[in-house]
Amino acid sequence: MPVSSRVPAALPSVVVVLLVGGAYWALFPDRTDYAGHFLAGAGGTYALLALGTLALPGRAWLVVALTWLAVLLGVGTEATVFRLAELDPVDLANQSLGAVLAGLGMVAATRHDRSVPVALVAAGALLVGGFGLAFA
């Protein structure tokens, strides 16, 4: 059943990201960094994809390429900037999963369906919440 044209394409994936983030938090209460990396990975990807959708709307290949870029940026930052103790493959997997879920939600996004503002608001909230949980 197709999503109504009044609902931004990005909105269902934002809801899924929030639900999965909540599940991480509930299932692993002692490891808030799991939820934090997942949410921050999704948030960073939403920001990147919102800019890509503004530049070249309706290009699924661009969403895939930018999602890959977001995952690679996550690898780079996890291995360098945020390497407090050692590279944690679980954190990397969690942030990559967040990035992929964000990418799935933006494949059908267009400049005119309000996905860009939804993605930008989600990006800000998820990045702040994710960093807060990752470093709690």
Tens digits of residue pLDDT in 74-122: 888 888 876 666 778 898 999 999 999 999 989 988 878 899 999 999 9
**Distance between CA atoms of 8 and 114, rounded to whole angstroms?**
5
Q: What is the pLDDT of residues 6-65, one digit of tens each?
A: 889 899 999 999 999 999 999 999 999 999 999 999 999 999 999 998 888 788 899 999
Q: Enter the pTM of the model.
A: 0.91
Write the Ramachandran bin of 58: left for phi over 0, alpha for psi from -120 to 50, otherwise beta. left
Residues contacting 66, CB < 8 A, separation 6+? 45, 48, 49, 52, 103
* Mean pLDDT of the residues in the chain: 90
Q: How far is CA 45 from the centre of its chain?
A: 4
